[in-house]
Structure 1
Amino acid sequence: MTQQSTEPRTTAEDAGDGSRQPAGRSWLDRYFHISDRGSTLARETRGGITTFMAMCYILLLNPVILGSVQDVQKHGLDHSALVTATALGAAVCTLLMGFIGKVPLALAAGLNVSAALTTQVVPHMTWPQAMGMCVMYGVVICLLVVTGLREMVMNAIPLALKHAITMGIGMFVALLGLVKAGFVGKGAGGPVTLGSDLSGHLVGWPVLFFCITLLLIFMLQARKVPGAILIGIVVGSALAIGATKLGGLTAKDWGGAPPTLDGNAVSMPDFGLFGHVEFGGWGSIGALSVTMIVFTLVLAGFFDAMATIIGVGTEAKLADDKGRMPGLSKALFVDGAGGAIGGLTGSSGQTVFIESASGVGEGARTGLSSVITGLLFAACLFFTPVTQLVPAQVAAAALVVIGSMMMSVAGHVDWSDRATSIPVFLTVALMPFTYQITTGVGAGVIAYTAIKAAQGKWREIGAFMWVLTGIFLVYFSLHPIEQWLGVR
């Protein structure tokens, strides 16, 4: 018999997961379960700031992507309005994830969605209609969450594949950081090469600051210094600003805006794109083309976010021994709603960002860190010029560090079992090699099902894995299917 505590309890709070918490803690601690998850207010704040610094580049990059093309009526999007829309979408969705999902995940305009809009959607319709597509795919994903299908899919994936997704995202994040820093680039005689100018050598000051920041973070981590990633980013940014001021570095040296704050730090927001959404009027491309576009956006939003949530949740130690997370359905719903919110704000569909892992690396475990990140994005509605103080190359160092940390789950994989190791290998390898998270997930799912079927272990596969396999077979065959149906 266990001894019962004789200490009186006057009140108790529901933790949201069925447990009861003793009173006496602050409302902030009780609401976000900070102590329950082994975190502190300082860690959550530090994690939220770090995540923002790692992903604030989206305020510069997304307007460039969306503003680079004109729609079918030769209309473009205003740059200042795009910056406001990007900041607004990220702020609203990240705050919702913090307060409702209560997990350390930040959202912003998905670059895969933005790229799909500019290459596959806008050439055939107007920008308001394209944003309507974002609203439609967001609603579809929310319906999948409400019906429980999305969480069932995530829980149906075998634990080994979940570990593979974590490692694959780690490799993808590391490569993403190396590319953003200009440490590697497209090669002349091969897929990639050292440096971004095809020379096979590291060139330029920005790469130097990336290397300094990366080594500094690694050294601080080795000495178990709290806040290693944030300290590294701050020091790296300070060195970059100092070199720009004293060394006379220009935009040409940085390949873009240098890390300086010239002129007024305050800028008023431009809400000119808010609410510019249109449904219908797709007669020129047909209902079948619209269906295929929505299907493509749903697949990208569904599985990229699923993989990211699994990866970051595992790294944050929020997943149980079967890879399942508490409060998963709420997080998935907010992520799905991000598609619709992004369309309404005019910034394209919002999705969970893998850069959230940088905040987790700083100790973030709760939604409070997401609230901090969301508030910083909200502040950028008025202080957008301040975001230029953190060079993208310096922030990219955090991605490489997080990539190395996410590889630690490799020890949980039974590499001697070929039925496990082959799907894991394909998942891990194809994410960075193809530069697409969804491709790695799909390859791993198909390989797992095929190998288990070849072994005669049909029951181990599970119904949802068979469904996923069918979906990914359609995904990989989408181009010939569209040609066969006459869509292309």
Structure 2
Amino acid sequence: MDRFFKLKQNGSTVRTEIMAGLTTFMAMAYILTVNPNTLTAFGQIDMGWYSVFLATALSAGIFTIAMGLFINFPVALAPGMGLNAYFASVILSSATTDHPFTWEMGLTAVFISGLIFILLTLTKVRQMLLDAVPDSLKHAITVGIGLFITIIGLKNSGLMTIGVEAGNDIAAHTFTDVLSFETVIHLGSLENTDVQLALLGLLLIGILMVLQVRGAILLGILGTTVVALLMGVVDFGTLSDPQTPWVPDFTQINFARFDWDGILHTGIISAIATFTFVELFDTFGTLVGTASRAGIMKNPEEGKKRVGKAMLVDAAAVTGGALLGTSTTTAYVESAAGVAEGGRTGLTAVTTGVCFLAALFLAPIAALIPGSATAAALIIVGVLMVQSIKEIDFTDMVVAIPAFLTVTMMPFTYNIANGISFGIVFYVVLACAANLLGKKKYSIHWLMWVLFVLIILRYIFLGSQG
């Protein structure tokens, strides 16, 4: 173990890595139920709940283990939230009577986007992003992802709710009218059991971290789950639910269910472009942010090489996930939960991957863990990741404005790619303006100009979808 994963070299131990891997799994295990629910939530989509469950567990397990064994990287992969919702919405919004956009066509679009990623990775275009993007934006990405994770935790726990006055169409009113509506973010009801459990989880994890207890996040999740069991709010019906059988039935996998005849559908090009664009920046942000938190980027050259290799596994995961029958499989921001517990090597990822494969047989038990238990962990992880904000020089407006937009647009638009896009566009414009006016000179990598143009074109022709 030590020789293969270089544990001592990375200042870690087998116990620490296993605990970190379990923590990452606990933090992202919700995808095992959320992804099947998302992709089968609409009547026109008949992928099969259990089929998607199998694809989710298998893709997460196989490619997370690959990330650990081949790259020695503490990052887990699974079908991406947001991208799976877009997958579903594309199928519905692009459907026509003459030529419906089927889920098989959606998987085809995902598969093609994965092939594009493999090409971009092998030609080292994706790796060039590590040199092209300024350090200030890299740190801003880490902070933004931290806030993004916090928003996910707050939303999943019920601690944060968004209210819109019933019966009012915001788009049909003026800004002044909207101000009178209940459109603001609210504190969730403290009488809600999920909210109470999330607050308890926050307190448990917080106290354990203050006391510097190893495995604080995982212990907090387990402690909250025990309390939930004692409160009688855990649904034991999952133990006998036919949708979550104890023995996996692999014959129900939608393997390679592609529709190549439908590639000429007008909506598929837009779908491929959107999957590619969002995944490009989402993965970049997640890998850089997690690598920075794990200390991998302390040696810039070595860090860039490892992140570059990780991108190849991620690209393969996109195509592999589509083959298994699920939407885009990508690196997960929740990996930061394991990194926060001390995960520094691929053993963390291998542990997480094994848990996902085990979930194929223990799905009913995994379904017992309440979402409020893991939501508290995500909020704490946000605290840890925003520490990178101290590396950003907010006295320099060329640096501060793009960084601030990167940080804020991620959580407030619920999209990592939006934050990175705004940061890149504003950095190029402001740095160029400063250089032309003879002020302090700022370096603008040629790839930043390429990204600038692509981002502008993306929003012009594809709008804000995804």
Alignment match, 2:352: 373
Q: Report if the CA contact (8 A) 1:241-1:389 is conserved.
A: no
Alignment match, 1:111: 81
Distance, in Å, in 1 between the alignment partners of 2:120 and 2:263 is: 28
Residue of 399, 411, 417 corresponding to 1:420? 399
- 2:27 is aligned with 1:54: yes
Q: Report if the CA contact (8 A) 2:239-2:365 is conserved.
A: no
Residue of 380, 396, 400 corresponding to 1:401? 380
Deviation at 1:263, TM superposition (A): 4.2
Residue type at the aligned position of 1:474: L
TM-score, L = length of structure 2: 0.89
Deviation at 1:100, TM superposition (A): 1.3
Deviation at 1:89, TM superposition (A): 1.1
Distance, in Å, in 1 between the alignment partners of 2:297 and 2:272 is: 31
Deviation at 1:34, TM superposition (A): 1.1
Deviation at 1:91, TM superposition (A): 0.8
Q: SS at 1:193's partner residue?
A: strand
Distance, in Å, in 2 between the alignment partners of 1:360 and 1:234 is: 18
Distance, in Å, in 1 between the alignment partners of 2:230 and 2:453 is: 55
Residue of 222, 231, 235 corresponding to 2:210? 222
Mark the CA change 1:260 to 1:229 in structure 2 (over 3 Å): closer, same or farther. Answer: farther
Alignment match, 2:55: 85
Distance, in Å, in 1 between the alignment partners of 2:358 and 2:288 is: 29
Q: Report if the CA contact (8 A) 2:431-2:444 is conserved.
A: yes
Alignment match, 1:467: 450
- 2:286 is aligned with 1:311: no
Q: Report if the CA contact (8 A) 1:313-1:325 is conserved.
A: no
- Where does 1:412-451 land on structure 2 (aligned, <5 Å)? 412-451=391-430
Mark the CA change 1:325 to 1:397 in structure 2 (over 3 Å): closer, same or farther. Answer: farther
Q: Report if the CA contact (8 A) 1:98-1:368 is conserved.
A: yes
Mark the CA change 1:361 to 1:130 in structure 2 (over 3 Å): closer, same or farther. Answer: same
Mark the CA change 1:335 to 1:284 in structure 2 (over 3 Å): closer, same or farther. Answer: closer
Cα deviation 1:403-430 (Å, max 9, x = unaligned):
0000111111111111111111100111
Cα deviation 1:47-96 (Å, max 9, x = unaligned):
0000001111001100001111255xxx6122122211111111111111
Alignment match, 1:364: 343
Q: Report if the CA contact (8 A) 2:282-2:417 is conserved.
A: yes
Distance, in Å, in 1 between the alignment partners of 2:84 and 2:47 is: 13
Mark the CA change 1:283 to 1:89 in structure 2 (over 3 Å): closer, same or farther. Answer: closer
Q: Report if the CA contact (8 A) 1:319-1:326 is conserved.
A: no
- 2:279 is aligned with 1:292: no
Deviation at 1:260, TM superposition (A): 7.1
Distance, in Å, in 2 between the alignment partners of 1:387 and 1:325 is: 35
Residue type at the aligned position of 1:267: W
Alignment match, 1:180: 156
Distance, in Å, in 2 between the alignment partners of 1:455 and 1:346 is: 49
Any gaps of 5 or more consecutive residues in structure 1?
A: 1-27, 196-200, 250-256, 483-488
Deviation at 1:171, TM superposition (A): 0.6
Cα deviation 1:361-405 (Å, max 9, x = unaligned):
110000111101101100111111011231111101111000000
- Where does 1:262-273 land on structure 2 (aligned, <5 Å)? 262-263=239-240, 267-271=246-250, 272-273=252-253
Distance, in Å, in 2 between the alignment partners of 1:351 and 1:47 is: 19
Q: SS at 2:284's partner residue?
A: helix
- 2:254 is aligned with 1:281: no
Distance, in Å, in 2 between the alignment partners of 1:395 and 1:433 is: 21
Residue type at the aligned position of 1:355: E
Deviation at 1:321, TM superposition (A): 6.2
Deviation at 1:120, TM superposition (A): 1.1
Distance, in Å, in 1 between the alignment partners of 2:326 and 2:268 is: 20
Q: Report if the CA contact (8 A) 2:288-2:307 is conserved.
A: no
Mark the CA change 1:331 to 1:284 in structure 2 (over 3 Å): closer, same or farther. Answer: closer
- 2:192 is aligned with 1:209: no
Deviation at 1:127, TM superposition (A): 2.0
Residue of 41, 50, 60 corresponding to 1:68? 41
- Where does 1:77-156 land on structure 2 (aligned, <5 Å)? 77-121=47-91, 123=95, 124-156=100-132
Task: Considering fraction of residues, name the structure with more helix.
Answer: 2
Deviation at 1:481, TM superposition (A): 11
Distance, in Å, in 1 between the alignment partners of 2:447 and 2:151 is: 31
Mark the CA change 1:383 to 1:283 in structure 2 (over 3 Å): closer, same or farther. Answer: closer
Q: Report if the CA contact (8 A) 1:241-1:259 is conserved.
A: no
Distance, in Å, in 1 between the alignment partners of 2:344 and 2:273 is: 33
Deviation at 1:480, TM superposition (A): 6.0
Residue type at the aligned position of 2:458: Y
Deviation at 1:469, TM superposition (A): 1.0
Distance, in Å, in 1 between the alignment partners of 2:312 and 2:117 is: 8
Mark the CA change 1:295 to 1:262 in structure 2 (over 3 Å): closer, same or farther. Answer: closer
Cα deviation 1:143-162 (Å, max 9, x = unaligned):
10000000002321110100
Distance, in Å, in 2 between the alignment partners of 1:170 and 1:130 is: 30
Distance, in Å, in 1 between the alignment partners of 2:26 and 2:464 is: 41
Cα deviation 1:453-482 (Å, max 9, x = unaligned):
111267711101111111111222234699
Alignment match, 2:11: 38
Deviation at 1:329, TM superposition (A): 1.9
Q: Report if the CA contact (8 A) 1:358-1:399 is conserved.
A: yes
Q: SS at 1:154's partner residue?
A: helix
Mark the CA change 1:353 to 1:481 in structure 2 (over 3 Å): closer, same or farther. Answer: closer
RMSD: 2.0
Mark the CA change 1:319 to 1:429 in structure 2 (over 3 Å): closer, same or farther. Answer: same
Larger mean Cα displacement after TM superposition, 294-303 or 107-116: 107-116
Q: SS at 1:50's partner residue?
A: helix
Mark the CA change 1:279 to 1:412 in structure 2 (over 3 Å): closer, same or farther. Answer: same
Q: Report if the CA contact (8 A) 1:178-1:396 is conserved.
A: yes
Residue type at the aligned position of 1:405: L
Name which one, 1 or 2, has greater alpha-carbon Rg: 1
Q: SS at 2:297's partner residue?
A: coil
Residue type at the aligned position of 1:61: V
Q: Report if the CA contact (8 A) 1:166-1:407 is conserved.
A: yes
Mark the CA change 1:273 to 1:415 in structure 2 (over 3 Å): closer, same or farther. Answer: same
Alignment match, 2:185: 192
Q: How many residues in Structure 1 have an aligned counterpart in Structure 2?
A: 434
Q: Report if the CA contact (8 A) 2:270-2:462 is conserved.
A: no
